[in-house]
């Protein structure tokens, strides 16, 4: 079998799908995208296609190393997201050619179902209690929200109190009937993270995500030494080499690689195994579309340390498009009481509605995250 072509489709809300075609008529789908930089990743995918067209798609490992090592420069969000989406599509082709889901090619199931969580609130966390109540109606009992609004490097007791009060209200309302992670989203400096973790400790969040910017990952160890709240991160780490540095310095309790940013299934399976060796749980990051989610689930069902899966149904970013808008097999993605079953179909297990994708790509968005500024006019972390 030979790869004959790669086609990219940028679609609402902010995703990109990749179709890899072969001379055997088997097509594989991937989701290479960095949110807000879809066009950049699109260019990278088509540059990398020079290594792929004419090659046998079954040679995933050699193609992965050729894409990663062949161009001298490596790593980072753009190249690793391009490789990720291509890798997903290659695994999709291999599974379809052999008539089995990818998890069978990776040694088979380690669990019968996977726990998922639902986002509530928005960029600036608000109405989180109403959001939780609404999503509990859908059967979820585990949630994630932004932990803070924008925050200064050294901010006021009042701003800290706002966060603590919001989280306390959640616990007062729902008690221990629910769990929730707080995503600090890199908005919080190390000094403020120390203050917030101390104040939030009694409210027992399930985890705090990106407590500081990934550039300050060396602080995770110090922060973990002062709190029992599990620290989670990984959406802005792009290879096993990025994760190794963080694993070795300590402090991380939950690794959150993104299957569309960290080199795809081939790389994230390696990251999962590395994490397990450090007694670190796996909770793949996935605020994206159905192909990314399917790729996450293929890893979740073969990784012993997978504990929680993000999915973007109802997330505040999904304006103009939802996770299941582009799939034919919606029922396979059924989430019952927060749990999802393995995707049984060959390959990634997602059947893409190509006509819908093509139609949606004609009005391709150019989503950008907002640029926030502090009251003094300086740039604030979004």
Ligand X SMILES: O=C(O)C(=O)C[C@@H](O)[C@H](O)CO
Q: Say whether 35 counts as a known binding-site residue.
A: no
With binding defined as CB under 5 A, does residue 21 bind Mg ion?
no
Nearer to Mg ion, 142 or 329 (CB): 142
Nearer to Mg ion, 21 or 150 (CB): 150
Three-state secondary-structure class, residue 86: helix
Nearer to ligand X, 183 or 332 (CB): 183
With binding defined as CB under 6 A, does residue 181 bind ligand X?
no
Stretch in the footprint of Mg ion (CB under 5 A) among 34-42, 147-155, 179-187, 302-310: 179-187
Residue 187 CB coordination number (10 Å): 23
CA dihedral 260, 14, 286, 324 (to 10 degrees): -110
Interaction residues for ligand X, span 36-75 (CB under 6 A): 36
Mark whether 46 is an active-site residue: no
Contact residues for 335 (Cβ-Cβ < 8 A; gap 6+):
116, 138, 139, 140, 311, 313
With binding defined as CB under 6 A, does residue 285 bind ligand X?
yes
Question: The tokens 């990776």 sit on which residue?
Answer: 106
Cα 113 versus chain centre, distance: 19
Distance between CA 33 and CA 41 in Å, rounded? 6
Mark whether 185 is an active-site residue: yes
Using Cβ positions, the residue closest to Mg ion within the complex turns out to be 183
Stretch in the footprint of Mg ion (CB under 5 A) among 9-17, 180-188, 262-270, 374-382: 180-188
With binding defined as CB under 6 A, does residue 369 bind ligand X?
yes
Interaction residues for ligand X, span 203-262 (CB under 6 A): 235
Number of residues that bind ligand X (CB under 6 A): 10
Q: Say whether 325 counts as a known binding-site residue.
A: no
Q: Which of 19, 115, 185, 240: binder of ligand X (CB under 6 A)?
A: 185
How many Cα neighbours within 13 Å face the side chain of 368? 5
Q: Which of 31, 155, 179, 183: binder of Mg ion (CB under 5 A)?
A: 183
Closest to 207 in 3D by CA, of 277, 112, 117: 117
Residue 5 CB coordination number (10 Å): 13
Contact partner, 5, from Mg ion, ligand X, none, Cβ < 5-8 Å per class: none
Number of residues that bind Mg ion (CB under 5 A): 1
Q: Say whether 209 counts as a known binding-site residue.
A: yes
Question: The tokens 């046998």 sit on which residue?
Answer: 56
Nearer to Mg ion, 87 or 183 (CB): 183
65, 261, 285, 374: the catalytic one is 285
Distance between CA 166 and CA 317 in Å, rounded? 21
Distance between CA 6 and CA 315 in Å, rounded? 29
E-state strands within the chain:
3-11, 15-22, 27-30, 114-119, 142-146, 179-183, 207-209, 231-233, 254-255, 281-282, 309-310, 335-336, 339-340, 372-373, 379-380
117-155 burial: b if 16+ Cβ within 10 Å, else e = bbbbbeeebeebbebbeebbeeebbbbbbbbbbbbbeeb
Stretch in the footprint of Mg ion (CB under 5 A) among 76-84, 177-185, 236-244, 349-357: 177-185
Interaction residues for ligand X, span 339-368 (CB under 6 A): none
With binding defined as CB under 6 A, does residue 183 bind ligand X?
yes
Distance between CA 136 and CA 139 in Å, rounded? 5
With binding defined as CB under 6 A, does residue 35 bind ligand X?
yes
Distance between CA 122 and CA 128 in Å, rounded? 9
65, 185, 216, 316: the catalytic one is 185
Q: How far is the CB of 63 from ligand X (least distance, A)?
A: 27
Which spans of this chain sit near ligand X (rule: CB under 6 A)? 35-36, 183, 185, 235, 285, 287, 310, 317, 369
Residues flagged as binding site? 183, 209, 235
Binding site for Mg ion (CB under 5 A): 183
Annotated binding site for Mg(2+): 183, 209, 235
Active site residues: 185, 285
């Amino acid at each position: 079998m030979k790869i004959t072509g790669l086609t990219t489709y940028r679609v609402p809300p902010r995703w990109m799908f990749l179709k890899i075609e072969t001379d055997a008529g088997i097509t594989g789908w991937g989701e290479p995208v960095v949110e807000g930089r879809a066009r950049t990743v699109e260019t990278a995918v088509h540059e990398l296609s020079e290594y792929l067209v004419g090659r046998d798609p079954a040679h995933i490992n050699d193609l992965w190393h050729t894409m990663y090592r062949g161009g001298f420069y490596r790593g980072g969000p753009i190249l690793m997201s391009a490789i990720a989406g291509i890798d997903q599509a290659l695994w999709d082709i291999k599974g379809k050619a052999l008539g089995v889901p990818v998890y069978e090619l990776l040694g088979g199931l380690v669990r019968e179902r996977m726990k998922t969580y639902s986002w509530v609130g928005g960029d600036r966390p608000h109405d989180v209690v109403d959001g939780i109540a609404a999503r509990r109606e859908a059967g979820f009992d585990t949630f994630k929200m932004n932990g803070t609004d924008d925050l200064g490097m050294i901010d006021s007791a009042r701003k800290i109190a706002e966060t603590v009060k919001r989280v306390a209200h959640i616990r007062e309302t729902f008690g221990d009937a629910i769990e929730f992670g707080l995503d600090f989203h890199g908005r919080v400096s190390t000094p403020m993270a120390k203050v917030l973790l101390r104040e939030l400790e009694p409210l027992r969040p399930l985890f705090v995500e990106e407590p500081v910017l990934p550039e300050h990952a060396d602080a995770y160890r110090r922060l973990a030494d002062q709190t029992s709240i599990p620290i989670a991160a990984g959406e802005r780490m792009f290879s096993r080499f990025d994760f190794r540095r963080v694993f070795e310095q300590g402090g991380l309790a939950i690794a959150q690689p993104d299957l569309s940013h960290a080199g795809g299934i081939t790389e994230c399976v390696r990251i999962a195994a590395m994490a397990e060796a450090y007694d670190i749980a796996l909770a793949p990051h996935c605020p994206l579309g159905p192909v990314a989610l399917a790729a996450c689930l293929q890893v979740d069902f073969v990784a012993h340390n997978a504990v929680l899966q993000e999915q973007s149904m109802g997330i505040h970013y999904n304006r103009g498009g939802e996770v299941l808008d582009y799939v034919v097999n919606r029922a396979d993605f059924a989430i019952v009481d927060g749990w999802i079953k393995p995707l049984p179909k060959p390959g990634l297990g997602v059947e893409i509605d190509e006509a819908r994708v093509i139609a949606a790509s004609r009005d391709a968005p150019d989503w950008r995250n907002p640029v926030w500024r502090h009251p003094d006019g300086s740039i604030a972390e979004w």
